[in-house]
């Protein structure tokens, strides 16, 4: 093995799993390890990972603040398409993986590494997402996935490995760790495992970290106004904000109003069904607001075509094909549609609900003189509707005359 790999870049959180992986790579492959820790808004300090890596003899340590890039170049483009997987999931984990894969490859190129490694298990989607991205960006890269190779199958065995190899781990903290498998970034936090493996079990209230329950949310609604430019949010309540700041603010106000909780069973790409719970307060608000401004500004057929394309686009992201030519092709069409998606949306947030109460745009296609129920002063000739209906009914009338009754 040592002849195959001389240097590997590891996606490193500093937690139990990736700390074990760092030492395991050194011992198993007799290679140099470079660690990469990404700050994508997970809400935990990433700098301690530097000290932990140094304690294991790691010389090249990358800790990158990718929050703005994450929201600007991945989350916002995805939300321009109103992307939802299987009708519910806002793809919080999925959309972070292509950015991490890209940075892993960039660091491999910078350091002359011939391999990358990650801590995704052999049962999940993340292994696919990381590796499809890596191969698309550097086809000759070697990928090492320890969970598919080693025989360390439990937290207890990982902790025993740490003690055996003098890996610096806070054992008390590791033992007190949440029973759930969790993933967090600026878009969401997810929970899987433990009692959630029974789809009939209701999540415990103290599991949720970002939001109050709808029942405990304020009895008075919160109103906010969101400004869009070319399909992206640029200001909240008149205050201009960067992409990451937009999502941080929406997470805060959404969580305070009990918005964004979801409990679903999804179909993983590897074939199994998985039950997970998600908190996506900011994303839930973004989706509702974006659809509201599009309802005012998009041509009908463009809007309907976007809705038809969206499930395919969502599946590409979920399955790990962000860097595929078909996703890029769809993105060009989606982004082109957003040139007119400009304006303001007013929302009422109340006990888990996001309610649109107003929308306005200089690019609006809403013509009150035509849509009015009052006198339209001849703007619309209602007599035109008769011919329109008869032409559209022509094939139905012909079939009925031939005895092809729909009854």
- What are the sequence ranges of the domains in the chain? 7-67+92-177, 184-298+341-360, 375-401
Cα distances from 348 to residues 56, 178, 289, 345, in angstroms, run 51, 34, 11, 10
pLDDT tens digit string along 115-140? Answer: 999 999 999 999 999 999 999 999 99
What per-residue confidence (pLDDT) applies to 172?
A: 53
* Strand arrangement, sheet containing 181-184: 181-184, 189-192, 273-279, 261-267
The number of residues making up the chain comes to 407
pLDDT tens digits, 103-114: 999 999 999 999
Do the domains 184-298+341-360 and 7-67+92-177 match in fold?
no
Dump the DSSP string for 32-83. EEEEEEEESS-SS--THHHHHHHHTT--EEEEEE-HHHHIIIIIHHHHHTT-
CA Rg value for the chain: 25
Which three-class secondary structure state does DSSP give residue 229? Answer: strand
State the catalytic residues. Answer: 17, 97, 126, 181
Q: Could you say which architecture CATH assigns to the domain 7-67+92-177?
A: 3-Layer(aba) Sandwich (3.40)
The predicted structure's pLDDT at residue 153: 78
Hey, which CATH number is domain 184-298+341-360, 3.40.50.2300, 2.60.120.620, 3.90.1260.10, 3.40.50.1820?
A: 3.90.1260.10
> What's the confidence (pLDDT) of residue 143?
98
pLDDT of residue 2: 43
The pTM assigned to this predicted structure is 0.95
Residue 90 near residue 187, CB atoms below 8 Å: yes
- CA neighbor of 245 nearest in space, from 39, 71, 100: 71
Low-confidence residues of the chain: pLDDT under 70: 1-3, 170-177
**What pLDDT, on a 0 to 100 scale, did the predictor assign at position 1?**
45
Residue 303: closest CA among 318, 293, 289:
293
- Per 3-state DSSP, the chain is made up of helix, strand and coil in percentages (nearest 5) of 45, 20, 35
- Dihedral, CA atoms, 184, 189, 195, 201, nearest 10 degrees? -170
């Amino acid at each position: 093995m040592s002849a195959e790999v001389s240097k590997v870049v590891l996606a490193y959180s500093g937690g139990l799993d990736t700390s074990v992986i760092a030492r395991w790579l050194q011992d198993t492959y007799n290679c140099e390890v470079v660690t990469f820790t990404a700050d994508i808004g997970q809400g935990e300090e990433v700098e301690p990972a530097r000290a932990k890596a140094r304690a294991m003899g790691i010389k090249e340590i990358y800790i990158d603040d990718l929050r703005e890039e994450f929201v600007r170049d991945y989350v916002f483009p995805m939300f321009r398409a109103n992307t939802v997987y299987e009708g519910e999931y806002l793809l919080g984990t999925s959309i972070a993986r292509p950015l991490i894969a890209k940075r892993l490859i960039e660091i491999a190129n910078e350091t002359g590494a011939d391999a990358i490694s990650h801590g995704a298990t052999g049962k999940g989607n993340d292994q696919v997402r990381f590796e499809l991205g890596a191969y698309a960006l550097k086809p000759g890269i070697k990928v090492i996935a320890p969970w598919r190779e080693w025989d360390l199958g439990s937290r207890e065995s990982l902790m025993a490995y740490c003690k055996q190899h003098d890996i610096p781990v806070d054992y008390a903290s590791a033992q007190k760790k949440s029973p759930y498998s969790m993933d967090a970034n600026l878009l969401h936090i997810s929970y899987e495992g433990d009692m959630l493996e029974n789809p009939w079990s209701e999540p415990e209230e103290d599991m949720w970290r970002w939001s109050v329950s709808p029942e405990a949310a304020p009895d008075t609604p919160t109103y906010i106004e969101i400004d869009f430019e070319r399909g992206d949010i640029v200001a909240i309540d008149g205050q201009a904000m960067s992409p990451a700041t937009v999502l941080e603010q929406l997470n805060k106000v959404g969580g305070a109003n009990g918005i964004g909780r979801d409990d679903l069973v999804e179909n993983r790409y590897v074939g199994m069904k998985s039950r997970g719970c998600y908190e996506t307060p900011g994303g839930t608000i973004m989706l509702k607001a974006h659809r509201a401004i599009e309802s005012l500004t998009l041509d009908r057929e463009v809007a309907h075509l976007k809705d038809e394309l969206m499930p395919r686009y969502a599946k590409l992201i979920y399955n790990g094909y962000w860097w595929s030519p078909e996703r890029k092709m769809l993105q060009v069409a989606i982004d082109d549609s957003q040139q007119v998606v400009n304006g303001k949306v007013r929302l009422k947030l109340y006990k888990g609900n996001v309610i649109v109460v107003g929308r306005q745009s200089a690019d609006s296609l809403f013509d009150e003189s035509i849509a009015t129920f009052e006198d339209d002063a001849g703007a619309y000739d209602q007599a035109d509707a008769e011919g329109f209906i008869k032409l559209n009914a022509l094939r139905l009338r012909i079939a009925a005359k031939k005895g092809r009754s729909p009854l």
